Amino acid sequence: MSRLVDYATEELKRIGMIDSGNSYNDAVTKAILDLIELFASQGHSGFTAAYTVNVFKRLAMFKPLTPLTGEDSEWNELKSGDYQNKRYCAVFKEKDGKAYNSEGKIFTDDGEIWYSSKDSFVEITFPYTVPDSPEKVYLNKEEKRIENASSD
């Protein structure tokens, strides 16, 4: 085993994923370690490792590698006459041409539990680069102040 596989195994043990007795955890652990073993076997340098992980993460999460263009070929028409983007399913276009990302924002009251709502929709223009993660909105101003102070 490589150092990376050993490291991943030890970290998974720390969070109770190794031999947990839970079939779901055991299946996820096997999938993670299979990916780690394949990645470790490829002999990446620091640069290629970071590049590979970043591209893989976007693709595995169904996020496009280049900006959405808004061209007609990127859309599927929905029954309602509105459109959904083929390259990123959270992007929609209305009949009037206005487009939005339905996963543009997530919200919290306590900094621990995050949720989306109708207010998660963010209007967009093209070309549009899909962000790695949605904008985080703290609804409790005191929590926001604490969060901002701890991130400095």
Q: How far is CA 119 from CA 96, 131, 132, 147, in A?
A: 20, 17, 19, 22
| pLDDT tens readout for residues 20-44 | 889 999 999 999 999 999 999 999 9
Domain residue ranges of the chain, discontinuous segments joined by +: 3-60, 72-150
Confidence band for 1, pLDDT divided at 50, 70 and 90? low
13 vs 1, 33, 96, CA distance in Å?
16, 12, 53
The Cα 73–Cα 71 span in angstroms is 5
Q: How does pLDDT run across 58-111, given as a tens digit for each residue?
A: 999 999 999 999 999 999 999 888 999 999 999 999 999 999 999 999 999 999
From the list 98, 90, 118, the residue with the least C-alpha distance to 106 is 118
Tell me the CB-side half-sphere exposure of residue 148, using CA atoms within 13 A. 9
